[in-house]
Amino acid sequence: MTRRGETALRFSATGQLALREEPVITRLMTAVLERPELLSLAAGFTDNSQLPADSVDRAAAALRAKDPGKTYLQYGRNAGDPALRGALAAHLRTFPGETLPDIGADDFLVTNGSQQLLYMTVQLFCDPGDTVWVEAPSYFVFLELLRGLGVRPVSMPVTPDGVIDAVGCCRQLRAWRAKGVAGRPRLAYLMGAFANPSSRSLAADEKTALAEALRAEAPDLPVVEDMAYRELYFGEPPGVPSMLSMEVWRGHPVLYAGTLTKPFATGLKTGYGVTRSKTWREGLERIKGHQDFGSSQYAQALLREVMQSGDYARHLRGVRPFYAEKAALLERVLEEAGLRTCGWDWESPAGGLLLWLRAPDGLDTSFDGRLWSAAMEESVLYVPGDLCFAEGVPRNFVRLSFGALAADRIGEAAQRFARAAARAAARAAD
Amino acid sequence: MTRRGETALRFSATGQLALREEPVITRLMTAVLERPELLSLAAGFTDNSQLPADSVDRAAAALRAKDPGKTYLQYGRNAGDPALRGALAAHLRTFPGETLPDIGADDFLVTNGSQQLLYMTVQLFCDPGDTVWVEAPSYFVFLELLRGLGVRPVSMPVTPDGVIDAVGCCRQLRAWRAKGVAGRPRLAYLMGAFANPSSRSLAADEKTALAEALRAEAPDLPVVEDMAYRELYFGEPPGVPSMLSMEVWRGHPVLYAGTLTKPFATGLKTGYGVTRSKTWREGLERIKGHQDFGSSQYAQALLREVMQSGDYARHLRGVRPFYAEKAALLERVLEEAGLRTCGWDWESPAGGLLLWLRAPDGLDTSFDGRLWSAAMEESVLYVPGDLCFAEGVPRNFVRLSFGALAADRIGEAAQRFARAAARAAARAAD
């Protein structure tokens, strides 16, 4: 674990886990850096052309004008800027079905992107060796986070079309209960809207059935509903409220994970969590106190200003049709290149930044498979779908992102991907 | 551990530790919030009047002009902005005695303040139950961080005047070695310049003696040299180079912990670490990949611009005499109020933001003692010195900060403190 010529260091269990496996993101980034001609449909970045430089400048000017004491450049509170948290509480109530009369600034915690919130939540509930219940597929960066803390992700049962199988969940929970509480996952992690990678949103009855299963079999199992992509809808806002507003979830420990990073500016790196569980929130706040005792106050002050001025909402009205068009473009080129007729399949996303493709049966899309080597030859990058499953199977899915790549390169990238798919299929036939 | 009316949650070992004790900072902040008339000589904030709003605006304008692609508002790299890391490498070489020809951008990791760097370093090397070697006194937030991860701080031997006792260190290391490697601390943590709380700087021969002790007894014990206050010198820059540049430390695993937060703008929350150990740096980078996959790119881009334009150096030329005057004012008022004649003693700081006072023997300065209750009656806040010792003793020290409180309030605060000291002494005589 130590480089040649270095003093051998003795690492903790966490340190050894961290050093054991190269993260996927490193592998993908190295590919990009080594081959500048490569077009990436893998990166989870947003589109630089949409980054709100004017809004940020206006917010900075407003801060100067309003606050001669310059508190926006000083340390803030560990839990986050109270005015930003208040703005977030008000903002949450603007979504369809989201009532939350009892939720206020004090129920929020601001973090370095929602990633830190997820990391701290896992620290709070999970010891090494524990398990976390995740969707199939789930967010691969979260799966890596779990493994980095020595925690094992376990897939929830889903129906063939990807819907959470509440009956199967009940059965699994009951089996765990029979083995005693130790064998059960310590946490469940779901993405409520335009999930990464599937772009699916949880339906109301799906959430209701899960709540009922949990009430019967595991009323104390903490649940995270990650809403990172919620605001990036293409047409109408999602009609299903978060678990926080659903009567059937009342009394169940739930954390809503949100972010201002993806919908506004990734460079401001500001996420947030909100929960009715005072102990959960306080535990996170304590861990944050040790980890960094508060996120950048300047980023928070800019975002508070942007939300209060209406620039945040205006920005989103602009980016929604923009990403809708990029999604449509990516789909159209893939269709025209004949991908569907070769046995590929996908659902059109209604929001988010991702397209989730099912490859023909038998085509291995993983780093070890034919599609990956063909894609390298065609100079196009994707995320192998197996990375998004807790158990690493199935191996015939692909995640494509239409977020980062400029609109005028998406067509070319999609054509390269289609050629790679054809090439991989031809080799299979050999 | 769960509030009334809440579902009982089952927390991890880390979660239980986090929830067990209220952090000191919470106790101090609650006091301030409940009693607005209170003047705080406790807070580690910098002075709002010195926050560089103009420099930040200039940097923002420069970023817009130079980078129409707006990458400064996009996600950055997990390890930090390469240009900022390059600027930091160049900056480090400007200190007296700091050569570092072999250190470049790739040896740096940018973090959410240096606190995150310290947290991740402890995660990398320490399992719960392990120990970390610290100075006596040491930075109380670091001591809390350790306890939050289930790690126990242990004091290094020091001479009566606070100098590290290299002979004692040798003896302690040898005793640990006799017990086998398991009993030895996993990490040593020192503050090289204007330490929090003592404002002491490590002398060259002190660092040399420690290096020799470690070479003999523990050549693989990782050492952190925290230089958070290094740039806040009052007169000349400290003449002793960091361990990274000292020949005697060559080959020993050392991490330099720095920050742009304290010297420039606390609201930008940007720290950094630099080490020659590729494995150490890589381990930190991996953990950061799980924890937040990169700090705010906007804060980093602003700081890169500020360093490259010369505004950073200009800012420091202004704040140094400013804090020197505040330190002198605080000392003068305490002297004039007769504190020294009542048996109090302290060294004049040559930099930093803190004054470290030794109370007369027998005067308990802790939360449970007479001075604290007298200070509450006089409406002045300080940090009890016992919090800064791994073992919680001695109990006759006080940390006062001249950083945050406006210059025109420092005199009043110092008078209140002196009255509290007199009142506590009078009660002792009763």
The confidence score (pLDDT) of residue B5 equals 67
- Do the chains contact at A130 and B64, CB–CB below 8 Å? no
Q: Are A154 and A185 in contact (CB under 8 A)?
A: yes
The confidence score (pLDDT) of residue A235 equals 95
The confidence score (pLDDT) of residue A1 equals 52
Nearest to A278 among B3, B113, B290 (CB): B3
**First-residue to last-residue Cα distance in chain A:** 42
**First-residue to last-residue Cα distance in chain B:** 42
pTM of the model: 0.97
Task: Compute, in degrees rounded to 10, the torsion defined by CA atoms A364, A366, A368, A373.
Answer: 80
The confidence score (pLDDT) of residue B181 equals 64
Q: Please list the alpha-helical segments (H only) found in A149-183.
A: 166-178
The residue with greater pLDDT, B162 or B363, is B363
Mean of the per-residue pLDDT values of chain B: 95
Q: Where does the pLDDT of residue B25 fall: very low under 50, low under 70, confident under 90, or very high at 90 and above?
A: confident
Q: Which residue has the tokens 């007479």?
A: B370
The confidence score (pLDDT) of residue A241 equals 97
When scoring A45, A73, A126 by the number of chain B Cβ atoms within 10 A, the one with the most, hence best to mutate, is A73
- Do the chains contact at B293 and A76, CB–CB below 8 Å? no
| Distance of residue B326 Cα from the nearest chain A Cα, in angstroms | 18
When scoring A126, A269, A353, A401 by the number of chain B Cβ atoms within 10 A, the one with the most, hence best to mutate, is A269
When scoring B73, B102, B124, B281 by the number of chain A Cβ atoms within 10 A, the one with the most, hence best to mutate, is B73
- Do the chains contact at A253 and B9, CB–CB below 8 Å? yes
State the pairing for strand pair A345-346/A271-275: unpaired
> How far from B215 is each of B157, B205, B241, B301, CA to CA, in Å?
17, 15, 19, 40
Radius of gyration of chain B (CA): 22
Chain B: residue nearest A70 by CA? B48
The confidence score (pLDDT) of residue A4 equals 63
Residues of chain B neighbouring A75 (CB-CB closer than 8 A): 45, 266-267, 269
Closest CA to B197 of B417, B391, B352: B352
The confidence score (pLDDT) of residue B24 equals 84
Average pLDDT score over residue span B226-254:
97
Q: What gap in Å lies between CA A243 and CA A241, rounded to an integer?
A: 7
pLDDT digits (tens, 9 = 90+) for B85-113: 999 999 999 999 998 999 999 999 999 99
Q: What gap in Å lies between CA A385 and CA A137, rounded to an integer?
A: 8
The phi and psi torsions of A177 (rounded to 5 degrees) equal -60, -35
Q: Which residue has the tokens 């977030």?
A: A88
Nearest to B116 among A72, A278, A292 (CB): A292
Q: Are A377 and A295 in contact (CB under 8 A)?
A: no
Residues of chain A neighbouring B183 (CB-CB closer than 8 A): none
Question: DSSP labels for A295-362?
Answer: --HHHHHHHHHHHHHTHHHHHHHHHHHHHHHHHHHHHHHHHHTTTGGGT-EEPPPSBSSEEEEEPPTT
The confidence score (pLDDT) of residue B294 equals 95
Residues of chain B neighbouring A177 (CB-CB closer than 8 A): none
Residue B36, pLDDT > 90, answer: no
A412: left (phi over 0), alpha (psi -120 to 50) or beta: alpha
Helix (H, G, I), strand (E, B) or coil at A117: helix
CATH superfamily name and code, A13-51+317-429? Aspartate Aminotransferase, domain 1 (3.90.1150.10)
CATH number of B53-312: 3.40.640.10
State the pairing for strand pair B271-275/B254-259: antiparallel
pLDDT-above-70 percentage for chain B? 98
Helix (H, G, I), strand (E, B) or coil at A196: coil
Nearest to A127 among B6, B13, B123 (CB): B13
**Cis ω before A384 (30° cut-off from 0):** no
Helix, strand, coil share of chain A (percent; to 5): 50, 15, 40
- Do the chains contact at A9 and B56, CB–CB below 8 Å? no
State the pairing for strand pair A380-381/A108-111: unpaired
Count the Cβ atoms, other than its own, within 10 Å of residue B178: 8
- Do the chains contact at A278 and B69, CB–CB below 8 Å? no
| Distance of residue B148 Cα from the nearest chain A Cα, in angstroms | 7
Under 8 Å CB-to-CB from B76, ≥6 apart: which residues?
A267, B294, B295, B297, B300, B301
CATH number of B13-51+319-429: 3.90.1150.10
Q: What gap in Å lies between CA A165 and CA A187, rounded to an integer?
A: 18
Nearest to B6 among A112, A269, A277 (CB): A277
Query: What does the pLDDT profile of chain A (430 residues) look like in tens digits?
Result: 556 667 889 999 999 999 998 888 777 877 777 788 899 999 889 999 999 999 999 999 999 999 999 999 999 999 999 999 999 999 999 999 998 999 999 999 999 999 999 999 999 999 999 999 999 999 999 999 999 999 999 999 999 888 999 999 999 999 998 887 667 999 999 999 999 999 999 999 999 999 999 999 999 999 999 999 999 999 999 999 999 999 999 999 999 999 999 999 999 999 999 999 999 999 999 999 999 999 999 999 999 999 999 999 999 999 999 999 999 999 999 999 999 999 999 999 999 999 999 999 899 999 999 999 999 999 999 999 999 999 999 999 999 999 999 999 999 999 999 999 999 999 877 6
The confidence score (pLDDT) of residue A7 equals 80
Nearest to A126 among B12, B115, B290 (CB): B12
Residues of chain A neighbouring B297 (CB-CB closer than 8 A): 266-267, 269
Residues of chain A neighbouring B299 (CB-CB closer than 8 A): 296, 298-299
Q: Are A291 and B142 in contact (CB under 8 A)?
A: no
Nearest to A286 among B18, B29, B280 (CB): B18
The confidence score (pLDDT) of residue B177 equals 87
| Distance of residue A429 Cα from the nearest chain B Cα, in angstroms | 40
Residues of chain A neighbouring B78 (CB-CB closer than 8 A): 25
| Distance of residue A266 Cα from the nearest chain B Cα, in angstroms | 5
| Distance of residue B422 Cα from the nearest chain A Cα, in angstroms | 33
Residue B79, pLDDT > 70, answer: yes
Helix (H, G, I), strand (E, B) or coil at A270: coil
Q: What gap in Å lies between CA A303 and CA A111, rounded to an integer?
A: 13
Chain B: residue nearest A30 by CA? B77
Under 8 Å CB-to-CB from A241, ≥6 apart: which residues?
A95, A96, A97, A98, A99
Q: Strand (E) positions, A2-58?
A: 39-40
Nearest to A295 among B112, B186, B283 (CB): B112
Residues of chain A neighbouring B70 (CB-CB closer than 8 A): 48, 51, 53
| Distance of residue A244 Cα from the nearest chain B Cα, in angstroms | 15
Chain mean position to CA B169: 22
Query: Residue ranges per domain, chain B?
Result: 13-51+319-429, 53-312
For A11-39, b/e burial (b = at least 16 CB within 10 A) is bbebbebbbeeebbbeebbebeeeeeebb
The confidence score (pLDDT) of residue A376 equals 94
Which H helix or E strand runs over B380? strand B380-381
- Do the chains contact at A297 and B267, CB–CB below 8 Å? yes
Query: What ipTM does the predicted assembly reach?
Result: 0.96
**In which order are the strands placed within the sheet that holds A354-358?**
A345-346, A354-358, A397-401, A383-384
Chain A: residue nearest B81 by CA? A267
Q: Are B404 and B262 in contact (CB under 8 A)?
A: no
CB pairs under 8 A between A and B: 273
Half-sphere exposure of A224 (CA within 13 A, CB side): 32
Question: DSSP labels for B123-192?
Answer: HHH--TT-EEEE-SS--HHHHHHHHHTT-EEEEPPB-TTS-B-HHHHHHHHHHHHHT-GGGS-SEEEEE-
| Distance of residue A175 Cα from the nearest chain B Cα, in angstroms | 19
Q: What gap in Å lies between CA A311 and CA A55, rounded to an integer?
A: 6
The confidence score (pLDDT) of residue B240 equals 97
Nearest to B124 among A11, A127, A297 (CB): A11
Q: Strand (E) positions, B254-329?
A: 254-259, 271-275
Which residue type is seen at A370?
Answer: R
Nearest to B222 among A9, A46, A144 (CB): A9
Residue B83, strand partner residues:
none
pLDDT digits (tens, 9 = 90+) for B385-402: 999 999 999 999 999 999
- Do the chains contact at B290 and A148, CB–CB below 8 Å? yes
Under 8 Å CB-to-CB from A50, ≥6 apart: which residues?
A318, A319, A322
Closest CA to B288 of B113, B89, B86: B113
